Structure 1
Amino acid sequence: MGHREDLLEGAKRCLLEKGFVRTTARDIVKESGTNLASIGYHYGSKDALLVEAFVALVERAGDSFGDAPAGQSATKDGSIERFEEVWANILRAFPESRAIWMLSFEVITQGERLAGVRELLVKAQREGRSGIAAVFTGIEESVLPEDVVETEGRFYTTLLNGLMVQWLFDPDSATTAEQLTEGMRRAMGRMSGA
C-alpha cells in the first residue's frame, strides 16, 4: 500500500475509535505510519480525508443491503417483498455497523463543530441516495435516472435515517422490517383509497 491508501485505512480506524470531532491529523498519521504532509498532498485536508474514509465505511456497510439471506434468492426488485427483504438486511447489518451509524449521528448532532466535514458530506449525500435507490429498484446505479435518485433515493434515505436513530436509541424497540413493510402497505392502501 502507498501513503494514500495507508492514510485512508488509518483514518477509518480513527473514525471508528474516536469519531470526527476527536480525530486529529496527528492521530491519523500515527495510525497510518505516514506523515502530516501526506494528508495535504493526497487529500487536500484532514476533513477531506475523513469524509472519504467515512464514505468508504458507509459503502462497505451498505454492500450487504441487497443480498438475499443465505439459501434464498433475491425477490423481485421494486416489489413490496423486496422492500421488506432489504430492510431486514439493513437491520441485520446494524449491530456490526453500529460505530458507522454513530458517526452519522455525530455529524448530525455536531454539525456546527464539523463545518468542513459537513459541507463535504452534503455533496456525498447524492451518492448515498443513488446507492440505496439502486438496491431497492434493482436498476444499475450507473444508469439510474436522476428522478429516481431525487425521489425514491431521498425516500429510502429518509427511512434509513429514521430507522438508524430508533435503532441507536434502543434496538429492542426499533421498527422491524415487517412493521415498516406493513406500515408501507397500509399507507399505500389509504392513499389509493383501497
Structure 2
Amino acid sequence: MGHKEDLLEGAKKCLVENGFVRTTARDIVGASGTNLASIGYHYGSKDALLTQAFIALMQEWGESFEGGLAGEGGSLERFRALWEGVLAKREASAPVWAASMEVALSGERLPQLRGMLAASQAEGRRGLISLLTGTPEEELTERDERTLGAVCQALLNGLMIQWLLDPGSAASAEEFTEGLRRIAEGLTAAGRGGSVAEAGA
C-alpha cells in the first residue's frame, strides 16, 4: 500500500480506538507509519481524513451484509434479519457509532467535520434502503433518500443508541420488529377508525 492507503487504515484504527475528538494527526501518523505532510498532501486535513475513515468503516459494515438478508425485500422478515445482523455486530461497531454521536453532539466545535459527515448521509441512506428493500442503489431517487432513507436511518441510529446507553434494557431484534409491525398495523387501522395502541395488543 502507498501512503494514502496507509493513512486511511491508520485513521480507521484511531477512530475506533479514540473517536474523532481525541484522535490527533500524530496518532494517525503513528498508526500508519507515514508522516504529517502526507495527511495534507493526500486528504487536505486531519478532519477530512477522519471523515473518509468513518465513511470507509460504514461501507465495510454495510458490505458485511452483502451475503444477503433473509426475507423478501420490504418484508418484516427482512427488517428482522437486518436488526439481528446489526445487533450481532454491535460490539465491533459500537466505537464507530459512538464516534458519530460524538460529532453529532459537538455543536459548533467541529463545524468542518459535521459538514463533511452530513454530506455523506445520502450515501448511507441509499445503502440502508437497498438492504431493506432489495432495490439497487442506482434506482433510488432523492425522494426515496429523504423519506424512506431518513426513517431507516433514524431507526438504525435509535437502536444503536439504546444499546450504547444501556444494553440491558435495549430492544432485541424480535422486539424491535414487533414494534415496527404494530406501528404499521396501527397506521392501517387508524384509517379505519382504530389506533396504534390497539394494533397487535
Normalised TM-score (structure 2): 0.88
1:75 positional shift: 1.1
Task: Kindly indicate whether the alpha-carbon contact (under 8 Å) linking 1:134 and 1:141 is maintained by their aligned counterparts in 2.
Answer: yes
1:1-194 equivalence runs, <5 A: 1-65=1-65, 67=67, 74-193=70-189
Change in Cα spacing, 1:67 to 1:85, as seen in structure 2 (3 Å) is farther
Task: Select between 174-183 and 119-128 the one with higher mean Cα deviation.
Answer: 174-183
Q: CA deviation at 1:84?
A: 1.2
Partners in 2 of 1:66 and 1:164 — Cα distance?
A: 20
AA aligned opposite 2:183: A
Gaps of 5+ in 2: 193-201
1:103-144 deviation per Cα after TM superposition (whole angstroms, max 9, x unaligned): 122112224322211110000111111111110010111222
What stretches of structure 1 of length at least 5 have no aligned partner?
none
TM-score (norm 1): 0.91
Distance 1:186 1:66 in 2: 28
Contact 1:67 1:74 in 2 (8 A): no
> What displacement does 1:66 show?
5.8
Letter in 1 for 2:146: E
Contact 1:64 1:89 in 2 (8 A): no
Query: Offset of 1:65 from its aligned partner?
Result: 4.0
> In 2, Cα distance between the equivalents of 1:67 and 1:85?
12
Per-residue CA shift, 1:41-84, capped at 9, x if unaligned? 1111111100000111122122234655xxxx721111111111
Counterpart of 1:85 in 2: which secondary structure?
helix
Q: 1:154 to 1:42 in 2, by over 3 A?
A: same
Alpha carbons 1:65, 1:90 under 8 Å: kept = no
Aligned Cα RMSD in Å? Answer: 1.6
Which deviates further from its counterpart, 153-162 or 168-177? 168-177
Between structure 1 and structure 2, the one with the greater Rg is 2
Given the superposition, is the C-alpha separation of residues 90 and 66 from structure 1 closer, same or farther in structure 2, using an over 3 Å criterion? farther
Larger helix percent: 1
For the residues of structure 2 that align with 1:16 and 1:63, how far apart are their CA atoms?
Answer: 18
Q: How many correspondences in the alignment?
A: 190
TM-fit CA distance, 1:28: 1.1
1:160 and 1:63 map into 2 onto residues whose CA distance is 16
Aligned mates of 1:148, 1:61 — CA distance in 2: 22
> Which deviates more from structure 2 when the two are superposed, residues 49-58 or residues 175-184?
175-184
State the 1:12 CA deviation: 0.8
2:54 counterpart letter in structure 1: F
